[in-house]
Structure 1
Amino acid sequence: MRRSASLQSLLFYGLGGPIVALNVWLLSVLFRYFQNPITILSFAAILAFLLNYPVKLFERAKISRTLAVIIVLLVTLTLFVIVGVTLVPLLIDQTIQLLNKIPDWLSASQDNFIQLEAFAKQRRLPIDLRVLTSQINASIQNLVQQLASGAVGLAGTLLSGLLNLILVVVLAFYMLLYGDRVWYGLINLLPSKFRIPFTKALQLNFQNFFLSQLLLGLFMTVVLTPIFLILKVPFALLFAILIGISELIPFIGAALGIGTVVILVLLQNWWLAVQVAIATIFMQQIKDNLLAPKLLGNFIGLNPIWIFVSILMGYEIAGLLGTLVAVPIAGTIKGTFDVLKSGNSGDFMSTFTIHQDTEN
């Protein structure tokens, strides 16, 4: 019996790794093949998850779900139009200016390296920056070529993005109206013991995770914008929004956003870069230690190592979209199995009612 049990364990763990690797590879291939529709459906589902909160508030006020969805959709579209008319053109203009400035900043940083090397030679210090300066020259040439080629397709990219945004909003509208019926049909494909734990874990992780990340990112954007303006940071609004958007990627997003901004500012003014680093890290600590625990809590309950692993696997499978959904997916899997082990499906609180369609 012991030999049989040990043999089964050996087969389970021995075959588990290759099967997981094969599934990851298969998912990455499927995503690359159906990348655009999967991306649109995913963002529409995320938007529907987020808009379900205000829809529920209207339903509590004795408003029918259809009317509540229409009201929320009209308000959302109004906000999108206001942002598109006021903020988007400003961001596009600042982005174009930044891309035009980067070659000049790289050239200035190259001059600084040359001066540093001359200073080191005067002090007889063994520093040779010729390799670094040659790499900077190559980077400048590649950047200029990419800017020249990318500017040609900018209008097409903006048009494609606008069409995709319209599709996302329309799909989110239909998901809010009829998503429960579709979800009920899909969830019935799972074994009965998985249905309720999986549904509640998915709701808890996706709704709470993305709502919390959006609020944290908005906090960083709103707080850093006036700070950058006071410090006279170039492209203050663009840099603050970049850091805010990076907050959507958990665990490593904030470091990537802050690091990118600090490096860009460093190319122009090292002392200003130090001030930017201090200000952003200080606000990041306030967010992480005061706001994030209240918003996020421990509803995911994942070890930081597994968070990092899930982000890497998500990026390998689906790129940026994979990094955004990797943590809530991992939290959903963990939450489902935790509930199944405990045998108490009431550990989760559902915010979206799944009901059977009785019209048929």
Structure 2
Amino acid sequence: MKLTNKLPRWLSIGFIYPVLFLNGWLFVLAFEYFKSPITIFITANLLAFVLDYPVNFLKRCGMRRNFAILLVFLITFLLLTVLAIIIVPILIKQLTDLAEYLPSWIESGRQQLTHLSEWAIAWKLPINISGLATQIADRLSQQLQTLVGEVVHWVVGTVGSVLNVVLTLVLTFYLVLHSEKVWDGIFQWIPSSYSNRLREALRQNFHNYFVGQATIASLMGILMTVAFLILQVPFGLLFGLGVGIMALVPFGCALSIAIVSFLTGLKSIWLGVRVLIVATIIEQVIENGFAPRLLGGFTGLNPVWVLFSLIVGAHLAGLLGLVVAVPLASCFKSLVSILLEKRNGTADMRMENGEF
């Protein structure tokens, strides 16, 4: 009998937790050291995963796979070029303009709060928020300008990383060509009793998440942008696409709507209210009409663990971590379920053999 079976349960657990903590700490250190190549590899895999759908569609239409891959990459390259030439400069300009206009918007919000306080005093209502409004406005002025400045710096830095972009595209091309061989080589290190089910869980979770979430995010971004432009919201393109991008992340849509409504409310409180009402209606229609059919609660995760996975993913890998956190957490849950089933099955067999 093994030594661990002779130890008390509390002592065995006491040995396990330090080992898990040490391994987790070493994993974080290794991830930070190799963050750039890991990010490129994960991004390339995600792009290859998405591009594989139109490739398979063209293949089913009778086109050879190599020609289908070349055609999909050509169309994707043309679309990215058009976006880089037309839309990206507009978004960067709107970001920089937003950073310039924020102080005046915050001052407008302070004046609106002051007028509200004066109106309350005139009607002898127990509301006095003039002092609080000044403190909030000063703090928001610093935080929002810092946040927008960091976003602009991140966008410019990302666009400027030409080498990383080229490496990602080249790796994506080879992954689309040889993805099966690559993943066969990775999963051969995992025992066959686990690898097949784990591979299927990984594929299914990412398929459901990205197909459903990307569809929802695209609908959200297009409809929000159109609505904001109709409402004549300043920086409507930036805000609309921002809501669409945030919709890729669970709870991101509601958070982005609140931020956009708050920012527009600083300029005009009635404009902020209209933005909040219209955006909430669009969000509810999409969430209740399309999301259940596209997502359908596929993750099986408690909302608490969804939030925890998002926090960990953002801390480790930033925006990319937010995107892959939920499907990876769902895959981890599937792995735990597989291990527990294997353990319970082994325990049942030992009981049948009279070992207990």
* SS class of match (1:105): helix
Q: Which amino acid aligns with 1:187?
A: F
Give the Cα–Cα distance (whole angstroms) in 2 for the partners of residues 60 and 166 of structure 1.
29
Higher RCO, 1 vs 2 (CA within 8 Å, ≥6 residues apart): 1
What's the CA shift for 1:333? 2.2
1:279-358 counterparts in 2 under 5 A? 279-338=278-337
Is residue 213–residue 247 contact of structure 1 (8 Å, CA) maintained in 2? yes
The 1:161/1:293 distance shift into structure 2, 3 A limit, reads farther
Give the Cα–Cα distance (whole angstroms) in 2 for the partners of residues 8 and 67 of structure 1.
63
Deviation larger for 6-15 or 300-309: 6-15
The residue that corresponds to 1:233 in the other structure is 233
Is residue 44–residue 171 contact of structure 1 (8 Å, CA) maintained in 2? yes
Give the Cα–Cα distance (whole angstroms) in 2 for the partners of residues 144 and 332 of structure 1.
38
Deviation larger for 35-44 or 269-278: 35-44
Q: Which amino acid aligns with 1:272?
A: L
The residue that corresponds to 1:223 in the other structure is 223
The residue that corresponds to 1:352 in the other structure is none
Give the Cα–Cα distance (whole angstroms) in 2 for the partners of residues 312 and 149 of structure 1.
19
Give the Cα–Cα distance (whole angstroms) in 2 for the partners of residues 281 and 81 of structure 1.
33
The 1:8/1:292 distance shift into structure 2, 3 A limit, reads farther
The residue that corresponds to 2:348 in the other structure is none
Deviation larger for 189-198 or 163-172: 163-172
The residue that corresponds to 2:182 in the other structure is 182
Gaps of 5+ in 2: 343-356
What's the CA shift for 1:148? 8.1
What's the CA shift for 1:121? 4.5
* SS class of match (2:222): helix
What's the CA shift for 1:335? 2.8
The 1:287/1:21 distance shift into structure 2, 3 A limit, reads farther
Give the Cα–Cα distance (whole angstroms) in 2 for the partners of residues 304 and 150 of structure 1.
28
What's the CA shift for 1:196? 0.6
Give the Cα–Cα distance (whole angstroms) in 2 for the partners of residues 207 and 186 of structure 1.
19
The residue that corresponds to 1:266 in the other structure is 265
What's the CA shift for 1:172? 0.7
Does residue 1:197 correspond to 2:220, yes or no? no
Give the Cα–Cα distance (whole angstroms) in 1 for the partners of residues 113 and 17 of structure 2.
48
**Deviations 1:222-257, CA, capped at 9 Å, x for gaps:** 11222212222111111110100001112x211221
**Deviations 1:272-302, CA, capped at 9 Å, x for gaps:** 1111111111111122212112112243222
The residue that corresponds to 1:66 in the other structure is 66
Q: Which amino acid aligns with 2:259?
A: T
Deviation larger for 175-184 or 119-128: 119-128
Q: Which amino acid aligns with 1:136?
A: A
Tell me the TM-score normalised to structure 1 length: 0.83
1:1-360 counterparts in 2 under 5 A? 9-11=9-11, 13-15=13-15, 17-122=17-122, 123=124, 125=126, 127-137=128-138, 139-140=140-141, 157=157, 159-250=159-250, 252-338=251-337
The residue that corresponds to 2:347 in the other structure is none
The 1:9/1:298 distance shift into structure 2, 3 A limit, reads farther
Give the Cα–Cα distance (whole angstroms) in 2 for the partners of residues 91 and 132 of structure 1.
31
Q: Which amino acid aligns with 1:34?
A: F
Give the Cα–Cα distance (whole angstroms) in 2 for the partners of residues 247 and 155 of structure 1.
19
Q: Which amino acid aligns with 2:28?
A: S
The 1:141/1:275 distance shift into structure 2, 3 A limit, reads closer
Q: Which amino acid aligns with 2:111?
A: D
Deviation larger for 174-183 or 232-241: 174-183
The 1:294/1:88 distance shift into structure 2, 3 A limit, reads same
Give the Cα–Cα distance (whole angstroms) in 1 for the partners of residues 158 and 64 of structure 2.
36
What's the CA shift for 1:157? 2.2
Supply the RMSD in Å over aligned alpha carbons. 3.0
Is residue 314–residue 326 contact of structure 1 (8 Å, CA) maintained in 2? yes
Give the Cα–Cα distance (whole angstroms) in 1 for the partners of residues 278 and 189 of structure 2.
51
Is residue 114–residue 133 contact of structure 2 (8 Å, CA) maintained in 1? no
What's the CA shift for 1:178? 2.2
Give the Cα–Cα distance (whole angstroms) in 1 for the partners of residues 31 and 104 of structure 2.
38
Q: Which amino acid aligns with 2:277?
A: I
The 1:115/1:17 distance shift into structure 2, 3 A limit, reads farther
Q: Which amino acid aligns with 1:48?
A: A
Is residue 299–residue 330 contact of structure 2 (8 Å, CA) maintained in 1? yes
